[in-house]
Amino acid sequence: MDTQGYQALGLGNTGMFWDGSEQYWEPTIKAIDSVWNTYDTIPVNRDRYLPEDVNLIAEDNRSRYQSNDPRYQTEGDEYFKSFGFDSTGLAGGYRSPLAVDKLVNYNNLLSKGIFRNAEEAAKHRPVLDDKVDRRTLALTDSGVKAMREITDENGNTLPFSSVGMHELGGHYYDDAIAGEGRLTASAIMQSYMDYGKTIGKDLSQQELEQMWMDDPRTNHLNLHDASNTGLRTLLRNRSHHGGVVNPQEGFGEYFASAISDPHYNSIWSNPGVSKETQKYQKGNSEKIARRVGSTLRPQHHNEGFGLQENGLNKRFADSLATFLNSR
């Protein structure tokens, strides 16, 4: 196995592949390539796709072999554990370790001049492990199988399930969009819903959107705030081309729509579904990942969402293109 990750597929130095995993992630990256043309957004280069450091790994047929370590059933289980996973889902997983915050906290101390000199600062600099202290996206063997393209009776050639996009476009972007050292976007939305419970109310999509727009925790996405230099520079550089939008608005609308979708919520509130499954499927993080995954890479599997407002996917894609370019 590799002792360190490596760059591949033109994604720049924020994406680290391990042990040949790029062959399994390439279909997802190619699907992101197509998003910008599909929705006629501003162009996005591949080295902008991953704004935060992340490992991209795959089980690579290790599920076929029993582990020599009695703590694990398969070599796949043992391999994922080496990256900090206690377990992955049947198809894939995303892990954002708290250890990532070690460097954020250190940089905050550094900026405040806490350390007396460079030597003292160097002593306190945290040592991060490339595997367990880095965000990691994982594909299982089952997930790779589910991503194989199938042509249906209508001639549509699509993967059964867009597992890679679910993990990268859904869970990873959910994390990255909220910003370094902040809550995930889905957790921010959950805080509004928790507030609604305290006043005995289920908040509407419009109310969730408005709270998102008024929240200081999402202001780093506001195109109209002059302090957001990345967004403002992008706007100046492309003012004659158009296509730069306000990500705060586009993300807020899209996420609120996914979270409050009545058809999806009705399906997973069915009494025949176990309480454990309901809790998992109706969690904001999972709703967003399922909506984004099937938006950015259409699939045969129906996630259960109802009809979407016309142009919603376009506004989300425009927001994503603007956000990634601003980083």
Q: What is the mean pLDDT of the chain?
A: 92
> Helix or strand or coil: residue 196?
helix
Residues 92-112, mean pLDDT to the nearest whole number = 77
* Cβ pair 143, 62 in contact under 8 A: no
* Cβ pair 56, 22 in contact under 8 A: yes
**DSSP assignment, residue 17?**
E
229 burial (CB, 10 Å; 0-12 / 13-18 / 19+) is exposed
Provide the β-strand partners of residue 150: 158
Count CB neighbours of 131 within 10 A. Answer: 20
Residues 102-127, mean pLDDT to the nearest whole number = 80
pLDDT given for residue 100 in this prediction = 56
Q: Which pTM value belongs to this model? A: 0.91
Q: How remote is the C-alpha of 162 from its chain's centroid?
A: 13
Helix (H) or strand (E) holding 92: strand 92-95
Q: Per-residue pLDDT for 98 more than 70? A: no
Provide the β-strand partners of residue 57: 138
Domain regions of the chain by residue span: 12-97+134-326
pLDDT given for residue 110 in this prediction = 80
pLDDT given for residue 108 in this prediction = 78
Report the candidate in 237, 230, 226 with the shortest Cα–Cα distance to residue 42: 237
Q: Per-residue pLDDT for 240 more than 70? A: no
